[in-house]
C-alpha cells in the first residue's frame, strides 16, 4: 500500500514537470474575432524547439468551413545556437453573417490533445467579393465534365514553368451535390501513398503543409455544385530541365448500391481515374550564373547597426531576402573581397511559410564587418544578389543602398572607437577560451528534476517511519 502511494506521488510530480515543460513549448493562438464574412478566421499552433514539423489536426467548428492550411518554420541563429519555431495555421470561413459561439476544443498535435478555451467570433457584411465558391474557381480543375457527377483530379496550377520555379500540385475527389450515391474512402492511407509514389517527380524539390486529414469544401465548377475532398497539396520546384509527367492514377471508393429486389444496401468498389498531364520545364535565358541563381519574386530588406565607425571597429550588417520562391534553397549573397573591409561568414536565419498555393518567406544573412581604412563605402560595391524573376522573365539584382562611413586612422589594434568600445578583435589574447557558456535552461531543468527526486525520497522516508 505504501509503495502504491509513493508511486502515485512520484507520477504526480512527474506529470507536473512534464506539463510545465509542454506548456512552455506548445501554445494555441486565436486570430481576429471581429471579421467580415469574406475573411478567414485563423487558429494557429506554435511549437518551439522542434526541428521537424509534427502532424497537427485541427477541430471542426459548427457553421464554419475548414479551408486552407499553412505551415511556417523559422530557424534563428543566436550565439551560434539554432532556435526552431514551428507555426501551423488553419483557416475557417463562415457561410453567412452572424455571431458564432465556439465551445472549448482540443487540437491533436502528434497524437497528443492540447486544450483551448472557447470564445465568440463575429462575421459581418463585406463590401468586397464573397470568399465563397465563385471566388475560388481559379484553383479548380479545368475539366470537360461530360455529365460526370464524380471525378478524380490531379491538377497542376501551371502548364509550364522555368527550372527552379514553383508550381502547385493538388489531388482531389469531386462529388456533385445532386449525386444520389453514398460513398466512403477505402484504405485511404495505403492508396494515397501508392498514388504519391507514382506522381512524385524525382527531379523536384517538394514543400508541403502536411497530410493529416482530408479537407472538405463546397465548390462550383461550370455552374454545377460539387463537394471537393482535397487529400494532398504541395509546391514542387523542378531542379532540372526535364518535363514533369503526371500519369493517370486511380482511386478506389466504396459505393453503396440499393438493390430494390431485396431492399438491401450493398457496398462495391468503384475506381475513378485522373487524366494524365505534363508540366513543361523551360531553361533560363543565357547568363553566366544561370545554373546557380534562385528563381522567384524577391525584394531586399537591410539593416546596418551603425553608419559611422572607426577603422577596426566591428559593425553588423543584415542582408534579408524576402519574397515568393524556394526560400530554403536561397544562396548566399556574393561578397567582393577587398582591402578596405573584412567580411566574416554570416549567421543564417530563415522563415518559410508553406501554403496550398505558394511558398514564401525570408532568408537573413547577418554579417560582421570590420573596416580597415578611412572613407565612405557604399555597400552596393560589396554585396549583390542575382536572381531570375519568372513573372517579368528577366534577371534582376538586389543591391544594398546603405553606406558605411569610416573615420580615423587606418586600422591599428589600439585604436579607440567612436562609441568608446574596442574593435572586434581587441584584447583577443586576454580572452579565456576554456570558459564554457552557462546554459540556464538546462540548469533549471536539472534543478526541477532534483527537487522531484528529493520530494520522492522524503515521502519514502516518511512512510517507512
Residue 47 confidence (pLDDT) above 70: yes
354 with 232, same domain?
no
pLDDT confidence of residue 416: 39
pLDDT confidence of residue 198: 93
The answer to whether residues 72 and 328 touch, using CB atoms and an 8 Å cutoff, is no
Q: Using pLDDT thresholds of 50, 70 and 90, give the confidence band for residue 464.
A: low
- CATH number of the domain enclosing 388: 2.60.40
- Mean pLDDT over each residue of the chain, to the nearest integer: 82
Q: Using pLDDT thresholds of 50, 70 and 90, give the confidence band for residue 268.
A: confident
Q: Given the DSSP bridges, would you call strands 375-378 and 403-406 parallel, antiparallel or unpaired?
A: antiparallel
Task: Work out how many domains the chain is built from and give that number.
Answer: 3
Q: Which domain holds residue 90?
A: 31-131
Query: Higher model confidence: residue 146 or residue 79?
Result: 79
Q: Which of 202, 385, 210, 395 is nearest to 300 (CA)?
A: 385
Question: Which has the minimum average pLDDT: 281-285, 354-358, 378-382, 442-446?
Answer: 442-446
- Mean pLDDT over residues 120-149, rounded? 62
Q: Residue 318 and residue 303: Cα distance in Å, rounded?
A: 5
Residue 129 vs residues 37, 134, 161, 207, 374: alpha-carbon distances, Å = 10, 9, 30, 30, 58
Residue 264 confidence (pLDDT) above 60: no
Residue 16 confidence (pLDDT) above 50: no
137 with 125, same domain?
no
265 with 379, same domain?
no
pLDDT confidence of residue 55: 87
Q: Residue 41 and residue 59: Cα distance in Å, rounded?
A: 13
pLDDT confidence of residue 83: 85
- Mean pLDDT over residues 141-156, rounded? 76
Residue 155 confidence (pLDDT) above 50: yes
All cell numbers assigned to 109: 498535435
Chosen domain end from 260, 283, 306: 283
- Mean pLDDT over residues 356-364, rounded? 92
pTM for the whole structure: 0.76
Residue that the C-alpha cell 459505393 belongs to: 255
* Burial classification of residue 202, based on how many CB atoms lie within 10 Å of its CB (0-12 exposed, 13-18 middle, 19 or more buried): exposed
37 with 160, same domain?
no
Amino acid at each position: 500500500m505504501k509503495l502504491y502511494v509513493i508511486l502515485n506521488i512520484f507520477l504526480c510530480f512527474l506529470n507536473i514537470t512534464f506539463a510545465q515543460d509542454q506548456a512552455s513549448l506548445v501554445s494555441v493562438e486565436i486570430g481576429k474575432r471581429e471579421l467580415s464574412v469574406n475573411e478567414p478566421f485563423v487558429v494557429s499552433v506554435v511549437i518551439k524547439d522542434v526541428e521537424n514539423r509534427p502532424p497537427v489536426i485541427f477541430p471542426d467548428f459548427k457553421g464554419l468551413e475548414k479551408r486552407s492550411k499553412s505551415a511556417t518554420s523559422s530557424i534563428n541563429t543566436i550565439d551560434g545556437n539554432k532556435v526552431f519555431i514551428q507555426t501551423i495555421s488553419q483557416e475557417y470561413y463562415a457561410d453567412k453573417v452572424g455571431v458564432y459561439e465556439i465551445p472549448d476544443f482540443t487540437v491533436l498535435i502528434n497524437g497528443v490533445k492540447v486544450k483551448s478555451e472557447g470564445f465568440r467570433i463575429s462575421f459581418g457584411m463585406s463590401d468586397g467579393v464573397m470568399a465563397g465558391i465563385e471566388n475560388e474557381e481559379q484553383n479548380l480543375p479545368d475539366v470537360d465534365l461530360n455529365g460526370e457527377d464524380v471525378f478524380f483530379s490531379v491538377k497542376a496550377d501551371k502548364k509550364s514553368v522555368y527550372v527552379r520555379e514553383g508550381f502547385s500540385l493538388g489531388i482531389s475527389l469531386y462529388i456533385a451535390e445532386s449525386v444520389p450515391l453514398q460513398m466512403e474512402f477505402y484504405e485511404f492511407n495505403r492508396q494515397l501513398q501508392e498514388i504519391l509514389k507514382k506522381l512524385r517527380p524525382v527531379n523536384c524539390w517538394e514543400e508541403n503543409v502536411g497530410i493529416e486529414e482530408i479537407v472538405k469544401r463546397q465548390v462550383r465548377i461550370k455552374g454545377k455544385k460539387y463537394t471537393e475532398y482535397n487529400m494532398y497539396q504541395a509546391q514542387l520546384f523542378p531542379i532540372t530541365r526535364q518535363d514533369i509527367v503526371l500519369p493517370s492514377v486511380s482511386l478506389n471508393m466504396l459505393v453503396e448500391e440499393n438493390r430494390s429486389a431485396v431492399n438491401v444496401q450493398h457496398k462495391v468498389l468503384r475506381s475513378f481515374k485522373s487524366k494524365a498531364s505534363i508540366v513543361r520545364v523551360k531553361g533560363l535565358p543565357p547568363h553566366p550564373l544561370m545554373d546557380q541563381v534562385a528563381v522567384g519574386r524577391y525584394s531586399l530588406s537591410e539593416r546596418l547597426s551603425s553608419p559611422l565607425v572607426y577603422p577596426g571597429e566591428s559593425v553588423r550588417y543584415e542582408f534579408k531576402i524576402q519574397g515568393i520562391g524556394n526560400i530554403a534553397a536561397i544562396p548566399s549573397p556574393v561578397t567582393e573581397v577587398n582591402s578596405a573591409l573584412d567580411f566574416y561568414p554570416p549567421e543564417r536565419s530563415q522563415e518559410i511559410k508553406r501554403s496550398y498555393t505558394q511558398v514564401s518567406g525570408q532568408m537573413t544573412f547577418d554579417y560582421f564587418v570590420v573596416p580597415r581604412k578611412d572613407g565612405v563605402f557604399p555597400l552596393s560595391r560589396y554585396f549583390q544578389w542575382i536572381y531570375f524573376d519568372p513573372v517579368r522573365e528577366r534577371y534582376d539584382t538586389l543591391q544594398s543602398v546603405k553606406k558605411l562611413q569610416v573615420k580615423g586612422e587606418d586600422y591599428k589594434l589600439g585604436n579607440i572607437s567612436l562609441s568608446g568600445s574596442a574593435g572586434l578583435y581587441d584584447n583577443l589574447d586576454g580572452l579565456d577560451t576554456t570558459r564554457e557558456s552557462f546554459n540556464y535552461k538546462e540548469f533549471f531543468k536539472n534543478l526541477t528534476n532534483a527537487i522531484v527526486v528529493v520530494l520522492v525520497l522524503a515521502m519514502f522516508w516518511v512512510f517507512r517511519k
